[in-house]
Amino acid sequence: MEIPVSSLVLLSMAGVGWLVLPWGLVALWRVRHASISAPRRWPSISVLKPMAGLDDQLLENLNSHLAIDYPGEWKLLLGVRNEADLAYPIAKAFVAANQGRAELHLQEGVPGFNPKVNQLLTLTKYATGEVIAITDSNVRVHPALLREHAARLAEPKVALSSNLFVGVDEGSVGSALDNMSINAFCAASSATAESLLKMTQLVGKSFAVKREILVELGGWESVKDVLAEDQRFGALLRQSGHRTRLCPTPVANVQQTARFGHFWQRHARWSMLRFHLLPGVWAEPLQLPFLWALAAALCSPSSPFLWWFLAATTALSVAFTQLATRILRGRPFSFRWAWLIPVRDFAFLAAWVRGMTMRTVTWRGNRLEVVKNTYLQAGPAAPPRERTAADERTRSVK
């Protein structure tokens, strides 16, 4: 039976996924098994952990930092916006139980529109390390975290190192869909850029930067009004001739109870950021071959070949997600969640389309407009802020 042109086009689009997905697994394997050498000296490191609200297993995330095995001097600095924040009592009790190893600082002022950067500005003021490391509040780290950062930063021209992040501990449909997208799309894309394209993407969940480089680029003030502060900071680094590298071991993005709305909002927002920053964002749906194979079969329902191709492509999509997850965290999704992998493709594409049309973001009760290069603008009722030299320097990157 002759297959119509429309189905052949869809078939070819699905075929791209058959080429791209295996390369993603190769890239993940190469990043995870990359060899690194110990530096000649271990620099002092300040680990900053900005927090807001109650993340799943927040205390366990904090405790994971106590197991860090680092021969040099290091200290953990926790930050919350104010004492009314739900994370404050947990952070306060943690610091009280670990005096000398951890500090707690409340945010001082509101210098920018990005709430995370506002906290980093305060925490960096009290940091004393030669290296500034960042881990998000929903991140659980591994003992070799700082050893790997120090090793990467000792490499020629490397000014910043970051980690892939892997979704773990799914206990709801929303958290399972989110973890699948993180492991199969986010991590694989970052690993492919690093390993195969030699284009390291700065991952804001966990990274470390030399203090002298941070100062050279204008400090956090240079990204205080940017939604995608990690990507913008990476652009400033590349413009200055510096390199970034991924460390071999990922950090864990802990999610147990997230609802579907959390998955939707996060990936629509991330999609919006990529539409602002990455010219290749339009090709991202080609990494969802199951959807194109299904569309091809539905366009020619009497073609046995297309239905067999759909079955094979479904198996490919499931195998890719499971193998990527196994490479990242040592175990795939249980059967309880694995059947959702094809559903994830539909949900992810819908969130991707929503991100294409988004122009505003609601952040801690503030509705902000996102403009070119993910700069943030307040609503009409908000008073204008005085621009600084750092603002103008960052805008020159546009």
Residue 393 pLDDT class (50, 70, 90 cuts): very low
Q: Each residue of 231-240: pLDDT tens digit?
A: 888 888 888 8
Q: How far apart are alpha carbons 336 and 203 in whole angstroms? A: 29
d(CA 215, CA 223): 13
pLDDT at 232 (0 to 100): 82
For residue 199, the model assigns a pLDDT of 74
pLDDT tens profile 19-65: 999 999 999 999 999 999 999 999 999 999 999 988 889 999 999 99
Virtual torsion, Cα 120, 263, 270, 148, nearest 10 deg: 50
pLDDT value at 183 more than 90: yes
> Would you kindly state where each structural domain of the chain is located, as residue ranges?
5-27+264-360, 34-258, 361-391
The pLDDT of 109-126, averaged and rounded, is 93
| Share of residues in the chain with pLDDT > 90 (%) | 73
- CA pair distance 332, 10, nearest whole angstrom: 29
CATH superfamily of 34-258: Spore Coat Polysaccharide Biosynthesis Protein SpsA; Chain A (3.90.550.10)
Average pLDDT over residues 267-280: 89
Distance CA 7, CA 3 (A): 6
